Structure 1
Amino acid sequence: MPTLNWIGKDKVINHHMDVPYRILEHSYGFDNGKQTQNETNSGNKIIHGDNLEALKALLPKYEGAIDVIYIDPPYNTGNEGWIYNDNVNDPKIKKWLGKVVGKEAEDLSRHDKWLCMMYPRLNLLHKLLSRQGVIFISIDDNEQANLKLICDEIFGGSNFVTDLIWRSADSSNNDAKQFSVDFNHTLVYTKLSGWQPFKLERSEDNNAHYKNPDNDPRGPWFSGNVSSPNPRVNLTYDIISPSGNKIAPPKNGWRWNKERVEEMIQDKEIIFSDDETRIIKKTFLKDQSGIVPSNIWWDIEETGHNRNAKYELIKIFSELKTSDVFKTPKPTKFLEKIIKISMHSDALILDSFAGSGTTAHAILNLNKLDNGNRKFILVEMEDYANDITAERIKRVINGYGDAKKKIKGLEGSFDFYELGKPLFLDNEMLNEEVSLEKIREYVWFSETRKPYEKVNEKEEHLLGVANSSAFYFYYYKDKLTTLDDSFLRTLKTKEEQYVIYADNCVLDHSLMQKYHITFKKIPRDITRF
């Protein structure tokens, strides 16, 4: 499989492993149309902070749990004149590149920088995606080819589904120097091959070619394909018509064996043409459950367009001037269609380049329409995460517009988080400003790759049990702990093995072997992931 190389790749290919783990600090909840200091526990989250570190912070609870990911990352056009800067010469990116890539960063091209920025983020997104999950990544021609190659590396070339073409412009640009750019790409990948999109509802246009010229009691039908899609020597037999006319097989042979064809003739699923020179297979409208989605979305009435999305934002934020609004926001119709074909109505959906919050808006719309229970996690690194991203969702939940054109609220709740303190200090010691529960959550996940749930209150230091092993975290912020005989006598959980974290251990080696005890020193033996 072809791979892509660029300056700095060797520095970022495993950089997601070195990203500091930070906790998520709850800022406020939004529930029943009001802001509260309490967590809503709705499952909906908006996170403000660097999306690389935010994705790392999500791992303990959400690794392998996200059903659908949609991202609309910077297109790397070099345009710096609008609210979401998509030029990777942004000072934040330059600072990060200098730290991670080092002196080589001075020689990076615009494309090298973009690839360095995207690669570790895609690695973490791959970890978060569920085994049955699917990711959609919108992009334009500036980086589409490069994105395809790095996604083939990270997700696997065999897990590429399609390049979805979406008509993003409602009219051609006659001022374009060469060609008017009327569409965007959206690359689609799965975690494992086998994902299938849901079929779309059939329209009257889809059904127009179904007729019933012979008044078949099974209803309207359409003449289906009778030829095998691949050459099949064993299916190249003649069919004899009622008058004895011999009908030769098509080039690849028939689609079915002779016995099955005779059954379908008997059931009148296959009929002969009037001149008996060919057979007609009836495909009945009643058997058609929906339409397989096309990978060309050209109907702007169905999926919206960029200008439509701008108007949508202006309606929500009446106080904003047109020039203040995002240059190429995505319309909610586009996101609704992606979400609708992707997964069941209880799906968990992540957007780590949240921008104006269209993904959450689309999810709330769909939940209202079909009584679904989809959940969203949005990550936005820019300063407008609260004032625009979260504010949009508040207004969508409560309703917006003036008295004459009031848009009814969609209902819903969410929690807003800031990216907080690192779990480990620069000297590799545990950060004592981090709560004990957050430390326990991290240690449990590092051992089991499972979300942490508080267990037996009677055992203060028990993290939980997994794979016939009991895990203990014997730790206090204000004093050293020692794994000794007296601590062993406090254990109440009986398991085949014990993994015990403490500052020191004075147990005899033979005793530890006898009771299958593994000692792990704090913080040295806490795995960094």
Structure 2
Amino acid sequence: MNQQRLQLTWYNKDKVLIPTETGKYGYKWVEPSDPRYCETHTLVMDEYVQGEQSHKSEEYQYSEYADLEPQTDNLLVHGESGDVLEALTRVPELAEKYVGNVKLVYIDPPFNTAQTFASYEDNLEHSIWLTMMRDRLLHLKRLLSDDGSIWVHLDTVENHRMRMLLDEVFGASNFVAEIVWGKADTSRNDAKQFSEDQDYIYVYSKAEGWRPNKLPRTAAQNSIYGSPDGDKTPWLAKPGHAPGAATHQGMVYAIQSPFTGELLYPPIGGCWRLGQEKMFNALSEWASYKLENLNDDSKRAEICGVSPESVRKNVPAIILAEDIDEAKRHANLRLNQPWPEVFFINNGSRIQIKGYLPSGGTTPRTIWGFRDVGSNRNSKAEIKALFPGKDPFSTPKPERLLQRIIHLATNPGDMVLDCFAGSGTTAAVAQKMGRRWVTCELLNSTFEEFTLPRLIKVVDGSDKGGISQTEGERIEAEGVVLPEGVNPDDAFSFNTILNKVLSANEELKKSTVVKELKKLTKTKKSKTKINWRGGGGFQVAHLSKECFDYDDSFGRVLLTESATGSTLVKSIAANLGFRMIPDHFTSPFDARRGDMYLKVVEGIVDDNVIDSIVGKLEEGKRIVIAGTMVMDGAREHLRKISKGSRVVAVPDDVFRYAKGGAR
């Protein structure tokens, strides 16, 4: 019996969308075979923008980012995201470079359907949004590398529908996390019901087994670790037991204390945190131990929550192999050295485990507060600093938010893609972090006023905001060693509060104890840290104009006014899957695919034209001749003189389409 997969369905799901007007949001439904949807646009390369990395100065300190080689292999495209993504996946020259090579996709669709599609019925507006996003997600999946991930940023309007759509495209098994970003640093008193504090970011991997990078550990996180026993590695105490007795019955047994001789068991429902071999080796540093079966199935069954008959049998206890007095003497002597990983508290009546300070960073959590990654207010301030007097974006994203995402999902040199550029935050942060990037923007006003100028500021080094530099950190003053467990921020807060308490008491201010406390907790600010010194560059491009259209009155595909010269040649090559032959190669042909060449003819293709073209063909090679007018008999003539070659009539043989479906 075939099992039916759970799917999200919507109005016109079997159809696709094309823009109703170039450079603006607005779409209409067409059949998937409509040439206005199927046509692959090429990219027209414009200027290349390049900057120089500034020299270092003694005035500042520099982070590891500041020493990364600025990336030069970046692409900024002005054009509709769906067409840009199709170009990246279908134009052979671009597909070779980008398909399967993007490590991170971050998208923040720059519209709320209730605003963008206000003239549509509610069910239709969501259908348009879902169709548009589905088609882009399919392209983005192809562009992602096998070890890549996609991060989709949404508010509450479409997040539940998007989750189902992502399940459908990427597979529910590749869902990684739902991240909640606390975007608001204050409540909104103008909210009618609730002041909405959060956005959502859905993370999916291209394939199962994806792992994020670790986050750097903060001083506050490290301050909870200490070394009361003199261990060279700081640690914190963790309970010796963990949940899971029922499923880990082999880790439920007695341990005899070397201090009291008491048999210690995990609590009801708990098991020892470490495997028995590891526990035995650590305990043997306190005294001499042996494994012995105590026939305590009833006690172990009670802890595991099962019957004595069903509890795992023959699990030995860890018992002292020497008398209690000798064991206690050895254990007390061991107290004067750094303790083993397993140790005793409460006069030997409880077991704990050392949790050592991690060396490889910290695992990211799914709730991100504005204090850690910035707020909407921060991001608006960043845009205003870059573009004084302008405030075009209602919900820009702070650079620190993108910094965390890019850090978790990529390494220097990896490629980052954002097909909804907006003000260009993703590309700006990627450049500052030594990543390559690709981004595009539909709206000309946004592209010319914000995206392009912002990225120019990044590479020329005039963008000093966002993550470009970090204020100096609070550090210990010279000659000060803070007490264990107290970090510089704690010390600064302590001094600040102390000064407030003493502000009205002149007598206490003069106290030698107070002065000594201030001296012991004195801190200072370190130098400003520079993370970005400019440099690198990017290619600016735009989408080629449409070469194919469909005329309802004629019921056929037509060429547009733009379908001429190199625009037509490149369009035919892209849509037939040919790679353009570079201009610096002297060739009578336009493009190539394996041993097949392409020649585009604007005009009549007859026997004489065919003979002239074939006469330049190397032996063993074939040719596709694409002409805007093909004479009767031309196809047969080419087949006779060049086996495997063919004639293509433009546009009819490129897009064979009639309303209602393909012919």
* TM-score normalised according to structure 1 size: 0.76
Other-structure match for 1:113: 128
Identity, in percent, stands at 30
Query: 1:228 deviation in Å?
Result: 6.0
Give structure 2 stretches of 5+ with no counterpart. Answer: 18-29, 53-69, 286-339, 470-531, 551-556, 627-634, 657-663
Other-structure match for 2:107: 71
1:88 aligns with 2:117: yes
Other-structure match for 2:403: 336
Query: 1:288 deviation in Å?
Result: 3.0
After superposing the two structures, state which structure 1 stretch, 185-194 or 67-76, moved more.
67-76
What is the rounded CA distance, in whole Å, between the counterparts of 2:558 and 2:113 in structure 1?
Answer: 39
After superposing the two structures, state which structure 1 stretch, 205-214 or 12-21, moved more.
12-21
Contact 2:174 2:205 in 1 (8 A): yes
Contact 1:19 1:52 in 2 (8 A): no
Secondary structure in 2 matching 1:282 = strand
Return the letter of the residue paired with 2:457.
Answer: R
What is the rounded CA distance, in whole Å, between the counterparts of 1:379 and 1:158 in structure 2?
Answer: 30
Secondary structure in 1 matching 2:15 = helix
Contact 1:76 1:110 in 2 (8 A): no
Query: 1:458 deviation in Å?
Result: 9.0
What is the rounded CA distance, in whole Å, between the counterparts of 1:332 and 1:416 in structure 2?
Answer: 22
What is the rounded CA distance, in whole Å, between the counterparts of 2:581 and 2:222 in structure 1?
Answer: 51
Aligned positions of 1:359-398 closer than 5 A: 359-366=426-433, 372=434, 374-384=435-445, 385-398=447-460
Other-structure match for 2:425: 358
Secondary structure in 2 matching 1:78 = helix
- Relative distance call for 1:220 and 1:471 in structure 2 (3 A) is same
Other-structure match for 1:291: 362
Return the letter of the residue paired with 1:411.
Answer: G
What is the rounded CA distance, in whole Å, between the counterparts of 1:149 and 1:483 in structure 2?
Answer: 57
Query: 1:274 deviation in Å?
Result: 4.1
Contact 1:351 1:377 in 2 (8 A): yes
Report the count of equivalent residues.
Answer: 467
Other-structure match for 1:495: none
Query: 1:439 deviation in Å?
Result: 5.2
Deviations 1:281-330 (A, max 9, x none): 22222x431111111001x2331111111111111112x34xx4211111
Other-structure match for 2:27: none
Query: 1:222 deviation in Å?
Result: 3.8
Other-structure match for 1:411: 535
Contact 2:581 2:590 in 1 (8 A): no
Aligned positions of 1:3-402 closer than 5 A: 3-12=7-16, 18-32=37-51, 42-60=72-90, 61=94, 62-76=98-112, 78-79=114-115, 87-89=116-118, 108-223=123-238, 226-227=241-242, 231-242=247-258, 244-249=261-266, 251=269, 253-266=271-284, 268-285=340-357, 287-298=358-369, 300-318=370-388, 320-321=389-390, 324-366=391-433, 372=434, 374-384=435-445, 385-400=447-462
Contact 2:639 2:645 in 1 (8 A): no
Deviations 1:313-359 (A, max 9, x none): 111112x34xx421111111111111111111111111111111111
Q: Which structure has the greater CA radius of gyration?
A: 2
Deviations 1:92-129 (A, max 9, x none): xx8xxxxxxxxxx8784432332233221222222222
Secondary structure in 1 matching 2:402 = helix
* TM-score normalised according to structure 2 size: 0.62
After superposing the two structures, state which structure 1 stretch, 60-69 or 304-313, moved more.
60-69
- Relative distance call for 1:242 and 1:386 in structure 2 (3 A) is same
Contact 1:456 1:462 in 2 (8 A): no
- Relative distance call for 1:262 and 1:15 in structure 2 (3 A) is farther
Secondary structure in 2 matching 1:227 = strand
Secondary structure in 2 matching 1:6 = coil
Deviations 1:132-183 (A, max 9, x none): 1111111111111111111111111111111111111111112322111111
Aligned residues: CA RMSD: 3.9
Deviations 1:46-73 (A, max 9, x none): 1111111111111142222211111111
What is the rounded CA distance, in whole Å, between the counterparts of 2:444 and 2:596 in structure 1?
Answer: 40
Return the letter of the residue paired with 2:198.
Answer: F
Contact 1:170 1:305 in 2 (8 A): yes
What is the rounded CA distance, in whole Å, between the counterparts of 2:349 and 2:225 in structure 1?
Answer: 22
Query: 1:77 deviation in Å?
Result: 5.7
Give structure 1 stretches of 5+ with no counterpart. Answer: 34-39, 80-86, 95-104, 367-371, 446-450, 493-497
